[in-house]
Amino acid sequence: MSGLSRRLLIAAACAALAASCAPQAAEESAAFVNVYSARHYDADRAVYDAFTRSTGIEVRVLPAPPDQLIERMRVEGDQTEADLIVTADAGNLWRMQEAGLLQRVTTPALEAAVPDRLKDDQRLWWAFTRRARVIAYAKGAVLPQDVASFDALALPRFRGQVCARSSTNMYNLSMLASRIERQGADAARAWAQGVRANLARDPQGGDMDQLRAIAAGECQVAITNHYYYLRLAQSEDPAERAVADRIALAFPDQGEGQAGAHVNISGAGVTAHAQRRDNAVRLLEFLVSPEAQEIFAADNSEFPISDATPLTPALQALGTFREEAVPISALGRHQVEAARIYEEVGWR
Ligand code: FE
């Protein structure tokens, strides 16, 4: 990229953030922090506002899809205005880490709040919420024992009855990456092939669209993150609650000798060239604090990172479940292979 287009891109970033882009010295003590965020949830604004109330530090957010954020930061290099990157999915954190966009941070508060499995070995990123990827099924048409395992979605029982979103979606890449880690590539391919053969329609839409398709009778089962179901169930719109009424959730693979439910994270890391590192670390610590954890649970129905945070009634109502023991780093490590497998079996 030319110097000019690079400067233009940086100027655009500054404008989007409403940041001054003043000389660095003047910003050292600035009472703000710039967040590049690939998360798309209203709960985050509530958390940032709570942070501002308790610290006086303003949170300026540049929202964009993960690919764009990574590309933008590559272009900006050490001139970046980003202090903290926030994203859903371990696969995205892994890509940011691989691109050299994050720096090592560790503090006693972070170490105490975040369980070992949910923080990067090198401390380049820290998880702040958990989400289970589960099976949603049509009440009545499907029995709980039919969906006791993700393996079931590949069985002839569900021929023409599976709705799915695109395999290029990071949630699906990480889900298959976890299977590659547990069972190897051949078994993962066989499973993806089986699910592909069972699809009711071409992959399309997001998780919510799969739930609506079940309620509309287009398919009997789909894979979704748990909070999308709760969003429908708790909606003020009766039509959305009616969708949830027709659906039940199964935490798959809970039996003895089974893997446990696939759980992914959202996480954040301080950028390699953060100009307001101290503010970024304070915000990172706030994201894992009890106050923020309760907001993420209440407003976005995500699971807290620590069992010490009480669950909301809605999360409690989902029931307890056992998580898979796959290292979070494996979700990133296998994602290229996961993409290749999906392509090979024709799950677009
Ligand atoms: Fe989501």
Cα–ligand 1 centroid distance for 311 (angstroms)? 19
Quote the CA–CA distance of 130 and 302 in Å, as a whole number.
6
**pLDDT for 323 beyond 90:** yes
Work out the pLDDT band at 148, boundaries 50, 70, 90: very high
The chain-wide mean pLDDT, for the chain, equals 92
Q: Report the separation in Å between the CA atom of 225 and the middle of ligand 1, taken as the mean of its atom positions.
A: 7
Q: Answer whether residue 38 shows pLDDT above 80.
A: yes
Report the range of poorest mean pLDDT among 159-168, 302-311, 334-343: 302-311
Confidence of residue 30 (pLDDT cuts 50, 70, 90): confident
Strand ranges inside 14-89, DSSP E: 32-37, 58-63, 84-88
For residue 165 the two structure tokens come to 């979103």
CA 79 / ligand 1 centre spacing (Å): 30
pLDDT given for residue 307 in this prediction: 83
Inter-CA distances, 231 with 170, 207, 216, 218, 305, Å: 20, 11, 18, 21, 20
pLDDT at 19: 45
Identify which has the larger pLDDT, 7 or 291.
291
| pLDDT for 12 | 53
Ligand 1 mean position to 89 CA, how many Å?
9
Mean pLDDT of 112-116: 95
Contact partners, residue 61, CB within 8 Å, separation at least 6? 17, 34, 35, 36, 37, 44, 45, 48
User: pLDDT at residue 14 above 70?
Assistant: no
Closest-CA residue to 262 (of 173, 159, 337): 173
**Is the model's pLDDT at 8 over the cut of 70?**
no
Cα–ligand 1 centroid distance for 188 (angstroms):
23
Cα 84 to ligand 1 centre (Å): 20
> For 166, which DSSP code?
-
**Selection from 272, 268, 270, 259 nearest residue 288 by Cα:** 268
